[in-house]
């Protein structure tokens, strides 16, 4: 299997051809296709279900297949970011460019799913769970529902696939984001001294949030120093001579491993209550940081052949870890190629991932 790029390419072409752009694509259709593919390998457990989400044109879906008592879970998300502008070809048509394969989701992270499916064609799984799940790229509403339903096999170990260039991701920051909306009756700027000023109120809130973040610039270790506090959006319907009737500000932070996103949420909500009591506050996302519970437990899988890394991006390993699963992050592809036009994955990385997944799927010699 380790040198069979043809089978991997076949599966990757099929996956890329399915539009699973988060919010507009059909993740349920992809999950059902994958359920049919996994059924051919006679799993002891096969679950394919839909799950609701609050955004987008469609609900999402997932498929779980289990063979025996799952000791290891392989998890890959099947959704992608929107294609956006700048592609030199059809994003949903896989292109072979010599040392790489180009297409939407190749790097993040359909390449990993293709590797798993290719390996399953040649080897009977042993004590394995495979979870292919939707809605990771914007909010991760589906994984908590999968965990609530218990449709992940309850494994000891989980490999959550993301583009890590075949390094073992051991930890990453959490994520917290809000929208605050302000309203007033608006009017001519000559009345600004006696009229509600929603844009000014929003700007003052942004300053207070920024000041809070600045207090923690030296917080944490060298890898994850600070809270990454960001004021990312400020918009209104006003002009230099028009008092706005409405304004919205969006802000976020990314607390480091070991910190509590829940505590940061209480702090930020307290700032809003104090500085902007009339704001309409909406939480966009609240996701805890991640650190592998016991990295040494993966020694039997990765041995001494793989480097570890501290990841700059959030993953659903955090959710599985909160559920009690010892997880790491690993996969073919690189963050520099993901989320951009002409996204690609190197063939050598696909083959390297397939070799690792082959060992996990066979289930031999995985004890640390």
- Dist CA 360 CA 129 (whole Å): 10
Query: Do 112 and 230 have their domain in common?
Result: no
CB 52, CB 149: distance < 8 Å: no
Compute the average pLDDT of residues 99-122.
98
Provide the pLDDT for residue 97. Answer: 97
Q: What predicted TM-score, i.e. pTM, was given to this entire model?
A: 0.91
Kindly report the CATH number assigned to the domain that includes residue 195.
3.30.70.360
CB 287, CB 314: distance < 8 Å: yes
Residue 368 counted as domain residue: no
pLDDT at position 332 over 90:
yes
Provide the pLDDT for residue 139. Answer: 82
Query: Do 144 and 36 have their domain in common?
Result: yes
Owner of token pair 């509403």: 141
Given 237, 268, 287, the domain boundary residue is 287
Residue 367 counted as domain residue: no
Query: Do 301 and 222 have their domain in common?
Result: no
Q: Give the burial string for 43-55 (b: 16+ CB within 10 Å, else e).
A: beeebbbbbebee
- Dist CA 317 CA 42 (whole Å): 27
pLDDT at position 364 over 90:
no
Query: Do 25 and 125 have their domain in common?
Result: yes
- Dist CA 81 CA 104 (whole Å): 8
Structural domain boundaries, residue 330: 5-172+289-362
CB 272, CB 279: distance < 8 Å: yes
Residue 323 counted as domain residue: yes
Provide the pLDDT for residue 1. Answer: 47
- Dist CA 67 CA 74 (whole Å): 12
Given 260, 287, 314, the domain boundary residue is 287
Query: Do 346 and 200 have their domain in common?
Result: no
47 three-state secondary structure: strand
Residue 119 counted as domain residue: yes
Split into its structural domains, the chain has a count of 2
Strand spans (E) along 30-69: 45-51, 60-67
Query: Do 324 and 274 have their domain in common?
Result: no
Query: Do 139 and 158 have their domain in common?
Result: yes
Residue 286's DSSP bridge partners are 176
Residue 147 counted as domain residue: yes
Given 287, 303, 318, the domain boundary residue is 287
């Amino acid at each position: 299997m380790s040198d069979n790029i043809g089978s991997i390419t076949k599966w990757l072409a099929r996956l890329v051809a399915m539009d699973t752009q988060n919010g507009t694509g059909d993740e349920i259709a992809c999950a059902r296709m994958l359920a049919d593919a996994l059924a051919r390998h006679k799993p002891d457990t096969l679950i394919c279900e839909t799950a609701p989400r609050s955004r987008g044109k469609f609900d999402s879906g997932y498929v779980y297949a289990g063979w025996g008592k799952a000791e290891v879970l392989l998890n890959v998300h099947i959704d992608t970011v929107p294609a956006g502008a700048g592609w030199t070809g059809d994003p949903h048509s896989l292109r072979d460019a010599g040392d790489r394969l180009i297409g939407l989701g190749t790097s993040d992270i359909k390449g990993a799913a293709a590797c798993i499916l290719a390996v399953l064609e040649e080897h009977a799984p042993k004590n394995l769970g495979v979870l292919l799940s939707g809605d990771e790229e914007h909010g991760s509403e589906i994984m908590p529902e999968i965990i609530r339903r218990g449709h992940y096999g309850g494994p000891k170990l989980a490999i959550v696939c993301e583009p890590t260039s075949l390094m073992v991701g051991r930890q990453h920051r959490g994520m917290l984001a809000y929208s605050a909306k302000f309203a007033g009756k608006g009017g001519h700027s000559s009345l600004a001294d006696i009229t509600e000023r929603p844009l000014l109120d929003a700007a003052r809130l942004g300053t207070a949030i920024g000041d809070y973040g600045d207090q923690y610039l030296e917080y944490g270790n060298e890898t994850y120093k600070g809270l990454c506090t960001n004021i990312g959006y400020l918009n209104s319907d006003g002009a230099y001579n028009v008092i706005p009737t409405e304004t919205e500000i969006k802000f976020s932070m990314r607390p480091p491993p070991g910190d509590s996103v829940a505590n940061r949420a209480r702090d930020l909500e307290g700032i809003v209550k104090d500085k902007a009591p009339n704001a309409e506050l909406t939480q966009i996302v609240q996701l805890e940081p991640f650190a592998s519970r016991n990295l040494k437990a993966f020694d039997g899988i990765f041995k001494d052949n793989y480097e570890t890394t501290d990841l700059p991006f959030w993953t659903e390993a955090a959710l599985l870890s909160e559920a009690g699963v010892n997880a790491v992050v690993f996969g073919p592809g690189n963050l520099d190629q993901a989320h951009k036009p002409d996204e690609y994955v190197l063939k050598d990385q696909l083959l390297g991932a397939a070799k690792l997944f082959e060992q996990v799927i066979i289930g031999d010699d995985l004890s640390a």
